[in-house]
Amino acid sequence: MMKFLFCLLFLIPLCLMNLFWLVQFIFFALSFILLLNFSFNHSFMYISYGLGFDLLSFALVLLSFWVCSLMILASEKIFKSDNYSGLFLLVMIVLLVSLYLTFSSMNMFVFYLFFEISLVPTLMLIVGWGYQPERIEAGMYLLFYTLLVSLPMMIAIFYYYETWCTLEFFLMNNSLNIFIYLCTIGVFLVKMPMFFVHLWLPKAHVEAPVSGSMILAGVMLKLGGYGLLRVMKLFIEVGLKINFIFVVISLVGGFFVSLICIRQSDVKSLIAYSSVAHMGLALGGIMSLNIWGAWGALVMMVAHGLCSSGLFCLANISYERIGSRSLYLSKGLLNIIPSLSLWWFLLCSSNMAAPPSLNLLGEIMLINSLVGYNSFNMLFLSLMSFFSAVYSLFLYSFSQHGQFYSGMYSVYQGMFREYMLLFLHWVPLNIMILKGEYLTLWI
């Protein structure tokens, strides 16, 4: 466990030397070394210094390493223009260390501490390297939404320690206190984000640079799901009484957000709102308190992390050529960059849960879970599945077809780096379904 942490800490001098290609190579190497340590066990393994892996934390740590590797690959513009690129790499390593410690911690306070620390580098990415004047406002949205609900969780942690004299996840018992339940899960609901507390997400995505969008969609939203899966066993009796409220909000909200997606003219905004709909489905699965929901939420989080991150890369590739993210200006891309249209199609089809993507496996599991919870959920599940296809096809057809606005284009094909970037998003997303049973080992 500590070998990965020390490896990341010793990468810091390389940031100051601005050897971004070497840092990226080491990130990829760490991802593959982590795969060799694959955890086949449902209980914690590789335990050292209060850190440990079970399959849930292993999957999300691997996703963090992979997405951070791809973030450097996507941010070549920062390194070419020398836009504080050394500081950018430093922020990236601090972010990865905080995510690694968040996902692998077995102590609730350490988990909470690094959960909050991961907010700071994300804020620096948005405010420092964002390219819109509203990025300060987006950063404030992100900061204050999270801080407002994280303070009640700190009070809940004090309550846990007074009650059980321990904060180890596997030593804590059931709690019947509904107020402590709401205080604990509030911060995770904002991070997911649940409908009603989701407004920071589209704002942050639209203002963030491509690396900020990738880490937000790929990993930061998963912090909420991970936290809920970890603490939900403490609140089973309370959850049986009031979780139906969260299930209803997530399903009805997911349907409304799907309708909002169809009305978006900004590509990044559309992808951000689709994230809210997908994570709403995962939230409903977790709140249904059955095994299908827990499995489905994990699969959906991994699948969404790769798929949504890939879509943001595509949006950025188009933005670098066109100079605008508006769907009204970026029409007819099929005529100009036809080889990129294949990647648009592949990632949009994965976003709408077409086979053989991992999203399909996640949706099947979550539909099982939610229909088993209450058969009336079928109505909103069918609407969400239908409109998921609608906005994905809308994004593809509106951007690729139509008469292009010729005044805005510098016409050339994609670069090898960009195809490599998209390939490394799409292939794991569609290969992992062949071994989908491994993602159901952890309960």
- Res 374: pLDDT: 92
408: tokens are 């805005």
Mean pLDDT of 281-290: 95
Contact 229, 288 (CB under 8 A): no
DSSP 415: P
Q: Which of 20-24, 232-236, 281-285 has the highest mean pLDDT?
A: 281-285
Q: Which residues pair with 314 in a beta bridge?
A: none
Q: Which residues pair with 105 in a beta bridge?
A: 51
133: tokens are 């004047």
- Look at residue 322 and tell me whether its pLDDT is greater than 90: no
Sign of the torsion formed by the C-alpha atoms of 210, 119, 359 and 378:
negative
Contact 321, 409 (CB under 8 A): yes
Distances (CA, A) of 305 to 111, 221, 312, 381: 21, 8, 11, 21
Distances (CA, A) of 125 to 72, 215, 285, 311: 13, 10, 31, 19
Contact 318, 332 (CB under 8 A): no
Sign of the torsion formed by the C-alpha atoms of 310, 312, 314 and 320:
negative
Q: Which of 216, 418, 215 is nearest to 317 (CA)?
A: 418
Nearest 10 degrees: Cα torsion 285, 289, 295, 297: 30
Mean pLDDT of 36-56: 81
- Res 442: pLDDT: 64
> What is the number of domains present in the chain?
1
What is the C-alpha to C-alpha distance for residues 127 and 131, in angstroms, rounded to an integer?
9
226: tokens are 């991970």
433: tokens are 């379904």
DSSP 413: P
pLDDT band at 314 (very low <50, low <70, confident <90, very high): very high
196 φ/ψ sector (left φ>0, alpha ψ -120 to 50, else beta):
left
- Look at residue 438 and tell me whether its pLDDT is greater than 70: yes
What is the C-alpha to C-alpha distance for residues 399 and 379, in angstroms, rounded to an integer?
30
DSSP 327: T
Give the domain range for residue 421. 2-440
Q: List the single range of 30-39, 224-233, 372-381 with lowest mean pLDDT.
A: 30-39
| DSSP class per residue in 204-250 | HHHHS-HHHHHHIIIIIHHHHHHHHHHHGGGGHHHHHHHHHHHHHHH
Q: Which of 279, 107, 309, 307 is nearest to 211 (CA)?
A: 309
292: tokens are 């299908």
| DSSP class per residue in 45-86 | EEEETTEEE-HHHHHHHHHHHHHHHHHHHHTHHHHHTTSSHH
Mean pLDDT of 336-357: 91
What is the C-alpha to C-alpha distance for residues 205 and 194, in angstroms, rounded to an integer?
16
Contact 360, 350 (CB under 8 A): no
What is the C-alpha to C-alpha distance for residues 141 and 145, in angstroms, rounded to an integer?
6
For residue range 180-239, what is the model confidence (pLDDT) as tens digits? 999 999 999 999 999 999 999 999 998 999 999 999 999 999 999 999 999 998 899 899
What is the C-alpha to C-alpha distance for residues 35 and 27, in angstroms, rounded to an integer?
13
CB atoms within 10 A of CB 302: 25
- Res 367: pLDDT: 96
pLDDT band at 169 (very low <50, low <70, confident <90, very high): confident
**Residue 355 — φ and ψ, nearest 5°?**
-65, 150
- Res 369: pLDDT: 95
Q: Which of 153, 51, 136, 41 is nearest to 99 (CA)?
A: 51
**Residue 146 — φ and ψ, nearest 5°?**
-75, -45
